[in-house]
Structure 1
Amino acid sequence: MNKSLKGVATLASARKEQNRSYWMLVLPGFLVYFAVLAFPTVFSVVLSLTNYNGGKLFGGRVPVEFVGLKWYKRLFVDEYFYLALKNNLWIVFVSVFGQIPLGFFLAYVLYRGIVKNTDFFQTMIYLPCVISTVVIGILWKSFFAPYGAYPELVRLFNPSFEYGVSNHPILPVLFVILWMYTGTYLIIFMANLQKIDSSIIEAAKIDGASEGQSLRYIILPALSGIIVTSCIFAISGSLKSFDLIYVMTGGGPANRTSVLSVYMFDKAFQGAPNYPLANAISTVMVIISFMLIGLTKWAEKRFGGKE
């Protein structure tokens, strides 16, 4: 009986020590997550429901009052909000249906050895990802400027070309985004393609499978999980894109290249600051991000395979 009680006590002590060790390892990360992500997110939602305007330090009104959905109602009748949202959705579209397929195509070409000097091409395609976004923005801004290289190149083929404000000023930004971030997905897909056993592909080819059949029935199902992860990265990165657009266009001309993050920045720090409205914009951005990610996960379950 005494041995049985000692065994139970030892087991309970071991579990207690295990729980203590678990919390010692988890607690620092949890506190950092709460301080950096969770608390600011909840606080932002709370501020979007008040009339907070900076407090005494910024000459704002005191005390803070609860105003409900006032700023959300104002947001959804602002034409510039829908313009920024449309531009953001264009960036999401280019990222998901441009960067990811192009990155996969380039990774597949290099992985299968269709071209030589794969290390050189891999480095050149990934190089824009390691250059400062501000530097890239300034370079491409100069390239597309009225007296830059772009109009001069067009005049070589069309001497009567007159450079003016385009009907689609977001197009240069979309091009630069496609060029800049495709290399990220190239590296991601290259790393995961190298985990696939090449003997499986060779066996399929011996059995008469074509390159397209190997791609469809072996490689794509094996990469379904990483494709979904890449889509989530692309969506989250697209909705918070700020630095490149701010450097290249600043949201102009006439806010026609503005995105939600630039729109939020203007409301918070330009002119008369409106912090509750800026926080309402950030909350909407988070909601849209969750909706698009949920749509991606649904598409994976409905049409995708399993890794």
Structure 2
Amino acid sequence: MHLIKSNWKIALGVIPALLIYCIFSIIPIFISFYYSFMSWNGFSAMQYVGLANFKAILNDSVFWLSVRNNLIVVAASVFGQIPIALVLALLLNQKIKGAKFFRTIAFLPVVISTVVISLTWRLIFNVEQGLLNNLLDNLGLSALAQNWLGNPDYAMYAIAVVIIWQFVGLYFIIFLSALQTVPRDILEAADLDGATEWQKTRYVTLPSIWGVIIIAVILCISGSLKTFDLIYVMTGGGPANSTEVMATYMYTETFQGLRYGYGSAISVLIFVFSIVMIILANVLLKKRGNRKPV
């Protein structure tokens, strides 16, 4: 009887948060699915067009450019944020002087407003007075100075650097928390067996936190596919759509082009791509985790 009362108390505590989540996250997904089969400018009556929006998207070169840019963001996040965060966590998990200070500094970009970060990095990348080009000039490397955000060949990669910098701290804290749960007796036993630091990391530490690494990669992929605010403030998707990602393109088509059905179809494809990539990453990482180290 006491257990039933406890379960009801837990349910009452969860229900408000669940309702908010459903209203602002789950229900809009179904609404987007519905709108994706419609032609609607937001004012006149909706018109059912079936799969016409999806057919138009598949023949839209700007959409495929946005997909390519999204894949660049995903690759930069997974192969940039995760390894850097893991190395930092391994280093700062040791008893070193000033570890708390470095932990705070590493996490600081995560709590700064994305708008502030975007405007700051726009100043850094500024072609005339930007810190980066001035630094290159002072080092005698003025030939390397570029119009980082104005050149279609470099703009997306410049943004990728900012994305890596912004969220490394988040995964650093996640990994650092996971490392502190690794059983000390196993590490001490490895020390007694004469294992080096690299061997302990490879055969004890990493397998112990592999589940956390999988979760971090999944968070990384899902967050990368929803990238919007930083790119919107820094470049607005330009120049010449060179930094357009699916979320910014969806926003442009929906609210500036007044193509709500078309924009909803793009949002559906973002959802589908996210699910597919998360499943693939989950399967591949779990297979890698199940392999016996050699």
Per the normalisation by structure 2, the TM-score is 0.90
State which of 226, 245, 254 in structure 2 corresponds to 1:259: 245
Q: Partners in 2 of 1:208 and 1:16 — Cα distance?
A: 52
Q: How does 1:59-208 map to 2 (within 5 A)?
A: 60-62=43-45, 64-113=46-95, 115-147=96-128, 148-156=130-138, 157-160=140-143, 163-164=146-147, 165=151, 167-208=153-194
| One-letter amino acid matched to 1:89 | L
Structure 1 residue 23: Cα displacement: 5.9
Structure 1 residue 168: Cα displacement: 2.5
- Equivalent pairs, count: 286
| One-letter amino acid matched to 1:243 | D
Secondary structure, aligned partner of 1:208: coil
Structure 1 23/144 Cα, relative in aligned 2: closer, same or farther at 3 Å? closer
| One-letter amino acid matched to 1:86 | R
Name the structure 2 match of 1:57. Answer: none
Q: Partners in 2 of 1:202 and 1:22 — Cα distance?
A: 40
Q: Can you list the C-alpha shifts for 1:119-178, whole angstroms capped at 9, x where unaligned?
A: 111111111111111111101101111111222222232345564425222111011111
Secondary structure, aligned partner of 2:121: helix
Q: Partners in 2 of 1:27 and 1:127 — Cα distance?
A: 33
Q: Can you list the C-alpha shifts for 1:57-97, whole angstroms capped at 9, x where unaligned?
A: xxx322x2321110111111111111111111111111111
Matched-pair contact (CA < 8 Å) for 1:221–1:305 = no
Q: Partners in 2 of 1:21 and 1:35 — Cα distance?
A: 22
Q: Partners in 2 of 1:109 and 1:162 — Cα distance?
A: 33
When the two chains are superposed, the root-mean-square deviation of aligned CA atoms in Å is 2.2
Name the structure 2 match of 1:293. Answer: 278
Structure 1 209/287 Cα, relative in aligned 2: closer, same or farther at 3 Å? same
Q: Partners in 2 of 1:209 and 1:15 — Cα distance?
A: 48
Q: Partners in 2 of 1:26 and 1:119 — Cα distance?
A: 34
| One-letter amino acid matched to 1:256 | S
Structure 1 residue 179: Cα displacement: 1.0
Matched-pair contact (CA < 8 Å) for 2:109–2:166 = yes
Q: Percent identity?
A: 38
Q: Partners in 1 of 2:287 and 2:31 — Cα distance?
A: 36
